Amino acid sequence: MENNLHQVLSINVEGSSKGDGGYSFICLDSKWDVNNRCGPWTPGDLLTLNSMHNDLHCNRKLIEFIMRSQDAVIYGYRCGRSEIYYQESSIKNPGLPPPQDAMGVVSLCAKRRLERDHRILLL
């Protein structure tokens, strides 16, 4: 499965900055077929994406969730058979996050940007 993802996606192995405004997204159906994508995904990002995909399938009541890594915030959303993963670059500061932290607004940013830039509507 991971090899197929590497072939389908143009992965950014160098880890350079994300294009298109500092975010990436990928739309999948329930059988891991890529419907649409934008921006680079590193191998570490794909491991996180795989973990989120497994969590969404293990718990059918789970519709959306947010994960934070050292350098990004990933928002996962499921509606029916479709899954959408949105990643935004973010720097993790020590201590409590400030009110304008990316983790607090990532779902709103994802909904706005995906609808505006790619005509993907998240409910």
Confidence band of 20 (pLDDT split at 50, 70, 90) = low
Q: Is the dihedral of CA 107, 112, 118, 121 positive or negative?
A: positive
Domain 20-118 sits in CATH 3.30.450.30: yes
Instruction: Indicate the Cα dihedral angle 69, 39, 113, 29, nearest 10°.
Output: -90
Indicate if the pLDDT at residue 2 is higher than 90.
no
Confidence band of 45 (pLDDT split at 50, 70, 90) = confident
**Residue 5 vs residue 106, higher pLDDT:** 106
**Is the pTM of the predicted complex or chain greater than 0.85?**
no
What tens digit of pLDDT does each residue of 52-102 get? 988 888 998 999 999 988 888 999 999 988 999 999 988 777 777 777 777
